[in-house]
Chains A and B, each alone.
Chain A
Amino acid sequence: MYLSLRQAYGQALVELGQNKSVVVLEADLGKSTMSSEFQSIYPDRYFQMGIAEQNMASVAAGMALTGRVAFINSFAVFTAGRAYDQIRSSICIPALNVNICGSSAGLSDYGDGKTHQSVEDIATMRVLPNMTVLSPVDAVETKLMVRAMMEKAGPCYLRINRNELPVYTSEKEKYYIGKMTLLREGSDVVVFATGVMVSKAMDAAGILEKEGVSIRVVNVSTIKPLDKTALRNFCVGMKGIVTAEEHSTIGGLGSAICEALSEDRVAVELVGINDEFGISAENYELILEHYGLTSGAIVENVRKVLRIVKH
């Protein structure tokens, strides 16, 4: 089953709207981020800020200082990038309950090209003290995350894919920020993946199984704070690690895992975007292929880890 993450996000905001503290701000992309669904039901708590993301971020900080729980919305490049200093200074230093939606994240806005594709938002948000960074795998997890963000006192960044993605999460399972989920058990190599790359890792597991290689697939949807103990537990008995993300390998999930496990002397290979900006493409699958964000790339890197370990 494929479901839209941004649709789930918009619906989740509407559900949260029952809490009168919740306010939603957007910068003329509400139809894309789907935050605009909130407007029709709670127009008095919906603030169209115009194409002015920096102001939107600081206004949300002001609202939070009067006890509101704010959600600000735009494309990931325009929240995590353009409004970076406002997120840093107005929101993160005082650790306010402002929740930042980075929509159309990664390469998921495949047609619009490099100015609209965000390959560095995990890095810029992750480096900020007090910030929580979330990267949902599917629509169900998105919905659960949005509620957790509201309930968490400090700032959160939510990275949302523009496209429909396969569902791995169940609404019946308890969600909490920091949760890391085992999606497939395996005995040779562990693949820590986030966002769309989780489905690529699941495909890779199927391919590798045929050659007698068994991989464990873990959905890492909380990039920060990263649960080091859980990471280590998933590594027990594994010959090495492959990370997979639709983001630059500089500063993203792979980096975060290498930082966390640097003392462990474990073989790690990173699948991600190799220090370059995006490009316009005909469709999502093609752009992912163009940057090597495929199940094939994960398979190759699993083999590489096994070769390294053998030597």
Chain B
Amino acid sequence: MSYTISDIKELKRKALDVRANILKMLPPGKVGHLGGSASAADIVSALYFKHMKLYEDPKDDRRDRCIFSKGHAVLAQYACLVELGYFDRSELEKLKTLNGILQGHPDNKLTPGIEAVTGSLGQGLSISVGMALGLQLEGNGARVYCIVGDGELAEGQIWEAAMAASTYACDNVCAILDYNGVQATGSTKEIFPIRDIREKWNAFGWYTIEIDGHDIEQILSALEEAGQVKGKPTMIIAHTTKGKGFAFAENNAYFHNGYMTEAQHKQAVDMLSAMRMEA
């Protein structure tokens, strides 16, 4: 399937909206996971605004599911769900407050459109595999998309899930690795370098695709390609930049879970405006 230029342009604008929503959730001085949310922003935009089958009712059985196994980056997901009208915009500024419905990590009981409880790393991919098996049992053709972090690959459970998905030939599972090279306390090279990532997924029986995770066209065509794969799950290795779109936060581990100053927040808003002019 090919996409029209207007599709791509629209999605690029949507990805800016997503980043703008993230900024609304993280006003100056409020600590939050900016880096990993921004690195996943283009991926979720392609998923939520173009690729996934979604319905007005966020619980519609036919829907495709998206699970953030790297649950801390859920801000990117909230930013999409609010655009879909699943909850009110006023919730964005209530992120991580007692009166809000947007928790620090995904909670399906509290937030419409969130599919599971994740955040304890490594569990989301297993949950996705379980959903995929459940959907297969009921003959439901919906697909399950799972966003995994590269730091998260150190969790042993990821590889347990990887084996289970290929053993059970879960071709309705598509994982997307947000390969941004930075984890909580430094670069993955410094903290815990994981070698031969693509080879590992191949060895675990997955079909792999490698793309630029900020190139909307590449993301869309990879998702399409994954949909054609039969008999095995797909891993899309998406090369991304942590904090993408906000120069001061890019590749900066501080913004894994830091706060913006007044000046940085203004700079971030200005950068988005400038990008909007170009888009």
Q: Which residues of A contact B (CB under 8 A)?
A: 23, 44-45, 47, 49-50, 52, 54-55, 57-68, 85-86, 88-90, 93-95
Starting from the known contacts A47-B133, A54-B160, 16 additional A-B residue pairs (CB-CB under 8 Å) come to A45-B137, A52-B164, A54-B123, A55-B160, A59-B133, A61-B116, A62-B126, A62-B127, A62-B134, A63-B137, A65-B127, A68-B137, A90-B116, A90-B120, A94-B107, A94-B116
Contacting residues, chain A, for B257 (C-beta < 8 A): none
Q: Name A50's contact: one of B124, B129, B137, B167 (CB within 8 Å).
A: B167
Closest residue of chain B to A61, judged by CB? B127
B164/A49 in contact, CB under 8 A? yes
Shortest 5 CB-CB distances between A and B: which pairs? A62-B130, A66-B134, A58-B126, A55-B160, A59-B130
B138 CB-CB contact with A under 8 Å: yes
Q: In the assembled complex, how far is the CB of residue B153 from the closest CB belonging to chain A, in whole angstroms?
A: 15
Q: In the assembled complex, how far is the CB of residue A19 from the closest CB belonging to chain B, in whole angstroms?
A: 13
- Chain B interface category by residue count: 20 to 34
Q: In the assembled complex, how far is the CB of residue A291 from the closest CB belonging to chain B, in whole angstroms?
A: 33
B131/A65 in contact, CB under 8 A? yes
Q: Can you list 8 contacts pairing A with B, beta carbon distance less than 8 Å?
A: A47-B168, A54-B156, A55-B163, A58-B124, A63-B137, A67-B138, A86-B120, A93-B109
B261 CB-CB contact with A under 8 Å: no
Q: In the assembled complex, how far is the CB of residue A273 from the closest CB belonging to chain B, in whole angstroms?
A: 30
B157/A86 in contact, CB under 8 A? yes
Closest residue of chain B to A59, judged by CB? B130
B137/A54 in contact, CB under 8 A? no
Give A49 to B108 CA distance when docked, in angstroms. Answer: 25
Give A45 to B130 CA distance when docked, in angstroms. Answer: 12
Most buried by B among A47, A59, A85, A88: A59
B41 CB-CB contact with A under 8 Å: no
A58/B135 in contact, CB under 8 A? no
B132 CB-CB contact with A under 8 Å: yes
Q: Name A54's contact: one of B117, B119, B126, B135 (CB within 8 Å).
A: B126
* Residue interface bits B35-54, CB-to-A below 8 A is 1, else 0: 00000000000000000000
Given A62-B134, A67-B138: A89 and B119 within 8 A (CB)?
yes
B120/A89 in contact, CB under 8 A? yes
Closest residue of chain A to B67, judged by CB? A62
Give A52 to B163 CA distance when docked, in angstroms. Answer: 10
Contacting residues, chain A, for B117 (C-beta < 8 A): 61, 89-90, 93-94
Give A65 to B66 CA distance when docked, in angstroms. Answer: 13
Give A23 to B120 CA distance when docked, in angstroms. Answer: 25
A62/B157 in contact, CB under 8 A? no
Given A50-B163, A61-B130, A86-B126: A94 and B108 within 8 A (CB)?
yes
Q: In the assembled complex, how far is the CB of residue B199 from the closest CB belonging to chain A, in whole angstroms?
A: 21
Contacting residues, chain A, for B127 (C-beta < 8 A): 58-59, 61-62, 65, 90
B157/A55 in contact, CB under 8 A? yes
A59/B119 in contact, CB under 8 A? no
Give A85 to B222 CA distance when docked, in angstroms. Answer: 33
Contacting residues, chain B, for A45 (C-beta < 8 A): 137
B238 CB-CB contact with A under 8 Å: no
* Residue interface bits B104-123, CB-to-A below 8 A is 1, else 0: 00011100000111111011
Q: In the assembled complex, how far is the CB of residue B58 from the closest CB belonging to chain A, in whole angstroms?
A: 13
B108/A58 in contact, CB under 8 A? no
B128 CB-CB contact with A under 8 Å: yes
Contacting residues, chain B, for A60 (C-beta < 8 A): 130
Q: In the assembled complex, how far is the CB of residue A17 from the closest CB belonging to chain B, in whole angstroms?
A: 13
Contacting residues, chain A, for B74 (C-beta < 8 A): none
Closest residue of chain A to B128, judged by CB? A62
Q: In the assembled complex, how far is the CB of residue B29 from the closest CB belonging to chain A, in whole angstroms?
A: 29
Q: In the assembled complex, how far is the CB of residue A25 from the closest CB belonging to chain B, in whole angstroms?
A: 9
Q: In the assembled complex, how far is the CB of residue B240 from the closest CB belonging to chain A, in whole angstroms?
A: 25
Give A85 to B156 CA distance when docked, in angstroms. Answer: 13
Closest residue of chain A to B120, judged by CB? A89
Q: Name A63's contact: one of B124, B133, B157, B160 (CB within 8 Å).
A: B133
Contacting residues, chain B, for A55 (C-beta < 8 A): 126, 129, 157, 160-161, 163-164
Contacting residues, chain B, for A95 (C-beta < 8 A): 109
Closest residue of chain A to B129, judged by CB? A59
Give A217 to B137 CA distance when docked, in angstroms. Answer: 46
* Residue interface bits B144-172, CB-to-A below 8 A is 1, else 0: 00000000000011001101100110000
B160/A52 in contact, CB under 8 A? yes
